[in-house]
Amino acid sequence: MPSRPVTWPSLFTALMYAFMYFPIIVLGAYSFSDSRYSASWGGFSLRWYRALFSDRRLLAALQDSLVIAIVAVAISAVLGTLMAIGLARHRFPGKGLYRGMSYLPLIIPDIAIAVATLVFLASVAVPLSLGTIIAAHMVFCLAYIAVVVSSRIQRLDPNLEEAALDLGATHTQAMLKVLLPQLAPGILAGCLLAFVLSMDDLLISSFTAGGGANPLPIEIFSRVRTGVKPDINALSVMLILGSALLAGLAEYVRYWGDRQRQKI
Amino acid sequence: MAQTVRSAAVTATPATQSDVELRRVVKAFGTEVAVRDLDLTVHQGEFFSILGPSGCGKTTTLRLIAGFETPTAGDVLIQGANVSTVPAHRRPVNTVFQSYALFDHMTVKDNIAFGLKIRRMGSLQVRDRVAEALRLVRMETMAARYPAQLSGGQQQRVALARALVNHPAVMLLDEPLGALDQKLRKQMQVELANLHRQLGITFIMVTHDQEEALSLSDRIAVMNNGQIEQIGTPSDIYDRPRTAFVADFIGDTNLLPGRIDQAYPSQVQVTTDSGLRVLACTASSGGAQTVVVSVRPEKINLSLSAPAAANNCYQGHISHLMYLGTHLHCVVRLGSGETLMVRQPNRAESLGVDTAVYVHWAADDCLVLDPA
């Protein structure tokens, strides 16, 4: 087989991937190191993974994170889908503006959302709690799900609901039996991605968490301030794998949903 | 109120039962008027087409009958009942959409059964009706497939079956063959005509394809700018167009603007703007002085030597020639400067560009119309 000449673009591409992923590979390697220091090699061991799973504080933080993400995503899934349907299917003045505003939370810097939420909560004297973190996370989860569902609605046949109405279905039946099943892959993909974003969020959580809640990113951040221990290496690897798995699943669901619509 | 409307409808059309009736219907979207003062009566069992260029309001008219739009003014009656404010899901009509709008997450069988199940029909009856519908569109072997696994023509059949399985009073078809290629179109036209004959229910079809409308319809309404220009049988529309728009839109025609010089009982003498003197039939008794003379290209005779015709005979030369196999399509430039489209059977005549020719046609073969 003749070897292909190395071209500049392919070299740059390879370098770019190395730049992005080399640190993560190094981290992954050190997470299996049997050493008390996070950046030295002391032979292969799973001790830090064992330490991780027996760390009560860490598991409690994980639980907080999961509760926040699941509740925020679940509520956002319903509201975001309704929002996308409303934006796509109804005529009203200023629709373009509303459509643009629906995904603004994805562009506004997190710090701005975090500060705004904190100031707002203080001004209406709502005490910070797990509930306030969930509410703050809903802001970006909602926007994310609405965007993904909107893009799917736009690729649907515009006459679908009318076809259902024409066949005798009420508006509610048309939505439940025809529109929602067709949107399901979009909704699911949006939820998975919003879930990853929520699990990942440090900034907004740290501004809106009271004493009662301590989600995982905040716990990690407070630990590394006193130096990175090898158990954080292991935790990071677990988080990366978890996120990658969910993101991959979301992509697969979207791909599967699109393929369903294409001719074979 | 509904009762009085019903009796009025019956007295209005005593001979044939009207299935769909629009009375002075107006539909405006904001300041845009899509349909203005539309009056329309479709008889029971009729294959009725609404034909017009895009944006003429024909699809809006169909949507008004289906119930997807409510009229801004006027009334929509289906089988004598005023349904102007009745929502789409309670009207006895079913629609075949241009895009088919099949439910991709359901099999062919479930797509077809959708309307019956929504109406809570028993499962045994649903099974029989779906089987009957599948047989009608010859898709029995495809029942378990998903729409994405079907070809365009097959999807079209499923869309038809999904509508007709409900035994609607009226089938509404929105450009039903618009997405199919030429060959499949012809084949489906035949099947549509067969279905209509077998079912005996009223079909209302919207199309921009004049050939499709002419070949399938019992009657055609030609629409332009939200209004009906003419309603009639295909031969009415083609041979006796009432307006220049209809003459121009249905088939090809030569339109010669001019003024009436002299009126005889059923004919008029017209001098065209370029100075030709044309003897033509007149359909209307309108007193308009400025008119348009319409001559179909296939009604014009072409000859190399001077014909023995007294009227409507002019000299010119061929400026373009298109070979169409069965026909020759010529553009003849007359001495007066006008150009005429002429369609000639493909005979062994030596015609070429710049050949000097005579064109002539009978007075009965051209019509005087009001200008558009």
Q: What is the pLDDT of residue B287?
A: 64
Q: Is the pLDDT of residue B115 over 90?
A: yes
Q: Is the pLDDT of residue B14 over 50?
A: no
pLDDT tens readout for residues B220-230: 999 999 999 99
Q: Which residues of A touch B142 (CB under 8 A)?
A: none
pLDDT (mean) for B201-219:
93
In contact, B43 and B19? CB cutoff 8 Å: yes
Among B68, B105, B166, beta carbon nearest to A162: B68
Q: Which of A102, A116, A118, A260 is nearest to A190 (CA)?
A: A102
Q: Within an 8 Å CB–CB cutoff, is residue A160 touching chain B?
A: yes
pLDDT (mean) for B205-228:
93
Structure tokens at B365: 């073969």
Q: What is the dihedral of CA B295, B299, B304, B308, to 10 degrees?
A: -90
Q: Which of B305, B314, B311 is nearest to B332 (CA)?
A: B314
Q: Which of B62, B64, B103, B121 to mutate to test the interface with A (most CBs of A within 10 A)?
A: B103
How far does B28 lie from chain A, in Å, by closest CA?
A: 14
pLDDT tens readout for residues B126-143: 999 999 999 999 999 999
Q: Which residues of B touch A166 (CB under 8 A)?
A: 66, 68, 88-89, 93-95, 163
Structure tokens at B327: 């026909």
Instruction: Indicate the average pLDDT of chain B.
Output: 88
Residues 6+ apart with CB under 8 A from A29: A41
Chain-chain contact of B89 with A162 (C-beta, under 8 angstroms): no
pLDDT tens readout for residues B283-336: 665 666 788 899 999 999 988 888 887 789 999 999 998 888 888 899 999 988
Strand partners, B174: B206
Q: Within an 8 Å CB–CB cutoff, is residue B167 touching chain A?
A: no
Listed by number, the residues of chain B in 100-129 with a beta carbon closer than 8 Å to a beta carbon of chain A are: 100-105, 114-115, 118-119
How far does B94 lie from chain A, in Å, by closest CA?
A: 6
pLDDT tens readout for residues A226-255: 777 788 888 889 888 988 898 888 888 877
Three-state SS string over chain B comes to CHHHHHHHHHHHCCCCCEEEEEEEEEEEECCEEEEEEEEEEEECCCEEEEECCCCCCHHHHHHHHHCCCCCCEEEEEECCEECCCCCHHHCCEEEECCCCCCCCCCCHHHHHHHHHHHCCCCHHHHHHHHHHHHHHCCCHHHCCCCHHHCCHHHHHHHHHHHHHCCCCCEEEEECCCCCCCHHHHHHHHHHHHHHHHHHCCEEEEEECCHHHHHHHCCEEEEEECCEEEEEECHHHHHHCCCEHHHHHHCCCCEEEEEEEEEECCCEEEEEECCCCEEEEEECCCCCCCEEEEEECHHHCEEECCCCCCCCCEEEEEEEEEEECCCEEEEEEEECCCCEEEEEEECCCCCCCCCCEEEEECCHHHEEEEECC
Chain-chain contact of A168 with B104 (C-beta, under 8 angstroms): no
How far does B91 lie from chain A, in Å, by closest CA?
A: 8
A159: nearest CA in chain B? B101
Angstrom distance (rounded) from CA B118 to CA A166: 11
Banded pLDDT at B6 (limits 50, 70, 90): very low
Chain-chain contact of A166 with B89 (C-beta, under 8 angstroms): yes
Chain-chain contact of A165 with B87 (C-beta, under 8 angstroms): yes
How far does B32 lie from chain A, in Å, by closest CA?
A: 15
How far does B95 lie from chain A, in Å, by closest CA?
A: 7
Q: Which residues of A touch B151 (CB under 8 A)?
A: 263
Q: Is the pLDDT of residue B169 over 90?
A: yes
Chain-chain contact of B99 with A158 (C-beta, under 8 angstroms): yes
In contact, B290 and B371? CB cutoff 8 Å: yes
Q: Within an 8 Å CB–CB cutoff, is residue A158 touching chain B?
A: yes
Q: Is the pLDDT of residue B155 over 70?
A: yes
pLDDT (mean) for A147-151:
90
pLDDT tens readout for residues A132-147: 999 999 999 999 999 9
**Bigger pLDDT: B245 vs B180:** B245
Of A8-12, A248-252, B82-86, B271-275, give the lowest mean pLDDT range: A248-252
Of A221-230, A252-261, B33-42, give the lowest mean pLDDT range: A252-261
Banded pLDDT at A95 (limits 50, 70, 90): confident
In contact, B295 and B256? CB cutoff 8 Å: yes
Chain-chain contact of B97 with A182 (C-beta, under 8 angstroms): no
Q: How far is CA B281 from CA B239, B264, B269, B294, B314, in A?
A: 12, 9, 9, 10, 18
Q: What is the pLDDT of residue B201?
A: 92
In contact, B269 and B275? CB cutoff 8 Å: no
Q: Within an 8 Å CB–CB cutoff, is residue A176 touching chain B?
A: no
Chain-chain contact of A165 with B89 (C-beta, under 8 angstroms): yes
Q: What residue type is B163 in one-letter code?
A: A
pLDDT (mean) for B82-91:
93
Q: Is the pLDDT of residue B101 over 50?
A: yes
Q: Which of A201, A195, A202 is nearest to A250 (CA)?
A: A195
Q: Which residues of A touch B65 (CB under 8 A)?
A: none
Q: Which of A152, A166, A263 to mutate to test the interface with B (most CBs of B within 10 A)?
A: A166
Chain-chain contact of B101 with A173 (C-beta, under 8 angstroms): no
Q: Is the pLDDT of residue B186 over 60?
A: yes
Q: What is the pLDDT of residue A225?
A: 83
Q: Within an 8 Å CB–CB cutoff, is residue B290 touching chain A?
A: no
Residues 6+ apart with CB under 8 A from B262: B268, B269
Q: Which of A32, A262, A30, A16 is nearest to A155 (CA)?
A: A262
> Can you tell me which residue has the tokens 């378990």?
B144
Q: Within an 8 Å CB–CB cutoff, is residue A261 touching chain B?
A: yes
A161: nearest CA in chain B? B101
Phi, psi (rounded to 5 degrees) for A158: -65, -15
Angstrom distance (rounded) from CA B35 to CA B17: 25
Q: What is the pLDDT of residue A7?
A: 87
B168: nearest CA in chain A? A167
Q: What is the pLDDT of residue A227?
A: 76
Q: Within an 8 Å CB–CB cutoff, is residue A129 touching chain B?
A: no
pLDDT (mean) for A208-219:
85
pLDDT tens readout for residues B263-282: 888 888 899 988 888 998 88
CA A136 to chain CA centroid, nearest Å: 14
Among A159, A167, A173, beta carbon nearest to B99: A159
pLDDT tens readout for residues A165-207: 999 999 999 999 999 999 998 899 899 989 999 998 999 998 8
Q: Which of B62, B86, B89 to mutate to test the interface with A (most CBs of A within 10 A)?
A: B89
Q: Is the pLDDT of residue B348 over 70?
A: no
pLDDT (mean) for A67-95:
90
Supply the pTM of this predicted model: 0.79
Q: Which residues of A touch B148 (CB under 8 A)?
A: 260-264
Q: What is the pLDDT of residue A1?
A: 53
Among B87, B114, B151, beta carbon nearest to A167: B114
Q: Within an 8 Å CB–CB cutoff, is residue A188 touching chain B?
A: no
A259: nearest CA in chain B? B148
DSSP letter string, chain A: -PPPPPPHHHHHHHHHHHHHHHHHHHHHHHTTB-SSSTTS---B--HHHHHHHT-HHHHHHHHHHHHHHHHHHHHHHHHHHHHHHHHHH---TTHHHHHHHHTGGGTS-HHHHHHHHHHHHHHTTPPPSHHHHHHHHHHHHHHHHHHHHHHHHHHS-TTHHHHHHHTT--HHHHIIIIIHHHHHHHHHHHHHHHHHHHHH--HHHHHH--SS---HHHHHHHHHTT---HHHHHHHHHHHHHHHHHHHHHHHHHHHHHHHHS--
Angstrom distance (rounded) from CA B229 to CA B53: 12
Q: What is the pLDDT of residue A228?
A: 75
Cα Dmax for chain A: 72
A156: nearest CA in chain B? B101
pLDDT (mean) for B10-28:
74
Phi, psi (rounded to 5 degrees) for B52: 175, 170
Q: What is the pLDDT of residue B9?
A: 38
Spell out the long-range contacts of B280-286 with Cβ–Cβ below 8 A and sequence spacing 24 or more. B280/B363, B280/B366, B280/B367, B280/B368, B281/B363, B281/B364, B281/B366, B281/B367, B281/B368, B282/B367, B282/B368, B283/B240, B283/B242, B283/B367, B283/B368, B283/B369, B284/B242, B284/B370, B286/B370
pLDDT tens readout for residues A112-122: 999 999 999 98
Whether complex ipTM tops 0.85: no
> Can you tell me which residue has the tokens 């348009």?
B292
Q: Within an 8 Å CB–CB cutoff, is residue A258 touching chain B?
A: no
Among A168, A181, A262, beta carbon nearest to B148: A262
